[in-house]
Amino acid sequence: TQLLEQSPQFLSIQEGENLTVYCNSSSVFSSLQWYRQEPGEGPVLLVTVVTGGEVKKLKRLTFQFGDARKDSSLHITAAQPGDTGLYLCAGAGGTSYGKLTFGQGTILTVHP
């Protein structure tokens, strides 16, 4: 069984601060996806990283896929209250062909 460990589970910061969320596994994935979920809504796909060492930027969000394709990180620069939500990483492929393995999520709260 493939597992994805996300850390931290909870993050409470002030507006303007930077933060990093980590997603780690002992398994290799073909790709890794990051989702953001707001209360009462379903997860929304933010990005997919496919190549080991790949870095993708989405405005103030930077996503990185580890060289060995076992881990990923999400870095947010100058966080804003609108960034508040649950961030989920999900691994695709590996031994779970055609399925997504989700981490337990990081609840981010950005205070004005």
Partner 1 sequence: ETGVTQTPRHLVMGMTNKKSLKCEQHLGHNAMYWYKQSAKKPLELMFVYNFKEQTENNSVPSRFSPECPNSSHLFLHLHTLQPEDSALYLCASSQDRTGWNTEAFFGQGTRLTVV
Binding site for partner 1 (CB under 8 A): 4, 30-31, 33, 35, 40-45, 48, 50, 88, 90, 92-93, 97-100, 102-105
Of the candidates 95, 65, 73, the one whose C-alpha atom is nearest the C-alpha of residue 2 is 95
Minimum CB–partner distance for residue 19 and partner 1 (Å): 21
Q: Which residue type sits at 4? A: L
Minimum CB–partner distance for residue 62 and partner 1 (Å): 20
SS3 (DSSP) at 83: helix
Closest CB to partner 1 among residues 33, 79: 33
Instruction: List alpha helices for the chain, DSSP H.
Output: none
Q: What is the DSSP string of 28-46?
A: --SEEEEEEE-TTS--EEE
Closest CB to partner 1 among residues 45, 55: 45
Minimum CB–partner distance for residue 3 and partner 1 (Å): 9
- What is the distance between the alpha carbons of residues 12 and 92, in angstroms, rounded to a whole number? 29
Closest CB to partner 1 among residues 9, 80: 9
Minimum CB–partner distance for residue 87 and partner 1 (Å): 13
